[in-house]
């Protein structure tokens, strides 16, 4: 297993605070929620950064956490976090070119391990559809307290639906002001169809000046007070 030193990623106070809220939602969701997928409507909304921040935040609490980048089409996570020391990733493993030990990286953050995407491929579905992916996540469940899975956007490609089969719950990242309500609703419905319960919505890239006090409530538990309030209306 490689050990890598992650490039420092600066967290603003607001994001750190909200990441702790998201983490709390997860911790209080019960022991059967272990594998969580991060998705969004389109790319660039901040899934990868949110996945990493959540995984790091869980590790900092002493939870053994694995971050898996399944965005085999367009991943940028490795460029953000690694200085070029990592060679192989998930696509190498799933195509039989690497062992699992070769692709799991220990990091300088105690308790946080990462599997990067590996070489980007044009049709990842074939790799995810193999039993190997499902079996591997199943085995890793006994090694880690939490597995955070970064996926491609659910509103754009079907890879995330295939990946959702191994997940217990999902978190939807929405870029503030950039996604139409109807589009978000479609993705929420899709998650319901996939039977991947929505654990929370992370409203990302909120303009702090415009948002004012709302900023403090960026990450809300989806079926929490907001939902109840709407139902009671």
Ligand X SMILES: Nc1ncnc2c1ncn2[C@@H]1O[C@H](COP(=O)(O)OP(=O)(O)O)[C@@H](O)[C@H]1O
Q: Considering only 45-53, 59-67, 104-112, 214-222, which stretch makes contact with ligand X by CB under 6 A?
A: 45-53
The residue with its CB nearest to Mg ion is 48
Residue 113 burial class via C-beta count within 10 angstroms: exposed 0-12, middle 13-18, buried 19 and up:
buried
Terminus-to-terminus CA distance in the chain, angstroms? Answer: 54
70 lies in the site for ligand X, by CB under 6 A: no
61 lies in the site for ligand X, by CB under 6 A: no
Q: Cα separations (Å) of 65 from 158, 177, 185?
A: 26, 31, 30
User: Which of Mg ion, ligand X, none does residue 107 bind (CB under 5 to 8 Å by kind)?
Assistant: none
48 lies in the site for ligand X, by CB under 6 A: yes
170 lies in the site for ligand X, by CB under 6 A: no
164 lies in the site for ligand X, by CB under 6 A: no
Block residue for tokens 């999902």? 170
Q: Would you say 48 or 164 has its CB closer to ligand X?
A: 48
Q: Which helix (H) or strand (E) holds 164?
A: helix 159-164
Residue 36 CA to residue 227 CA, distance in Å, equals 21
45 lies in the site for ligand X, by CB under 6 A: yes
Q: Which of 43, 98, 145, 165 binds ligand X (CB under 6 A)?
A: 43
Report the nearest approach of ligand X to the CB of residue 226 (Å). Answer: 20
User: Which of Mg ion, ligand X, none does residue 205 bind (CB under 5 to 8 Å by kind)?
Assistant: ligand X
DSSP E strand stretches across 51-108: 65-69, 104-107
Report the nearest approach of ligand X to the CB of residue 155 (Å). Answer: 11
168 lies in the site for ligand X, by CB under 6 A: no
Q: Which of 18, 49, 82, 159 binds ligand X (CB under 6 A)?
A: 49
CB atoms within 10 A of CB 168: 18
Q: Which residues bind Mg ion (CB under 5 A)?
A: 47-48, 71
Q: Would you say 155 or 195 has its CB closer to ligand X?
A: 155
Half-sphere exposure of 95 (CA within 13 A, CB side): 16
Residue 194 CA to residue 180 CA, distance in Å, equals 22
Pick from 89, 13, 14, 24: which is nearest to 63 by CA? 24
157 lies in the site for ligand X, by CB under 6 A: no
Asked if 118 and 91 touch (Cβ cutoff 8 Å), the reply is yes
Report the nearest approach of ligand X to the CB of residue 58 (Å). Answer: 17
Q: Residues interacting with ligand X, by CB under 6 A?
A: 15, 40, 43-49, 76, 204-205
């Amino acid at each position: 297993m490689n050990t890598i030193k992650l490039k420092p990623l600066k967290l603003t106070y607001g994001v750190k605070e909200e990441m702790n809220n998201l983490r709390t939602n997860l911790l209080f969701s019960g022991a059967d929620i272990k594998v969580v997928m991060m998705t969004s409507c389109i790319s660039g909304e901040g899934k990868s950064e949110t996945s990493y921040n959540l995984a790091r935040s869980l590790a900092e609490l002493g939870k053994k956490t694995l971050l898996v980048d399944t965005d085999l089409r367009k991943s940028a996570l490795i460029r953000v976090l690694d200085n070029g020391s990592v060679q192989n990733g998930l696509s190498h493993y799933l195509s039989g070119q690497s062992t699992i030990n070769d692709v799991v990286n220990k990091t300088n953050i105690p308790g946080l391990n990462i599997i990067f995407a590996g070489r980007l491929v044009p049709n990842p579905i074939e790799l995810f559809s193999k039993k190997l992916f499902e079996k591997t996540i199943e085995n890793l469940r006994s090694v880690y307290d939490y597995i955070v899975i970064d996926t491609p956007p659910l509103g754009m490609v079907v890879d995330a639906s295939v990946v959702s089969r191994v997940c217990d719950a999902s978190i939807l990242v929405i870029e503030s002001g950039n996604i139409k309500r109807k589009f978000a609703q479609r993705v929420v419905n899709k998650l319901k169809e996939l039977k991947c319960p929505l654990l929370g919505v992370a409203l990302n890239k909120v303009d702090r000046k415009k948002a004012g006090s709302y900023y403090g409530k960026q990450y809300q538990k989806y079926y929490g007070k907001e939902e109840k309030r709407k139902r009671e209306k």
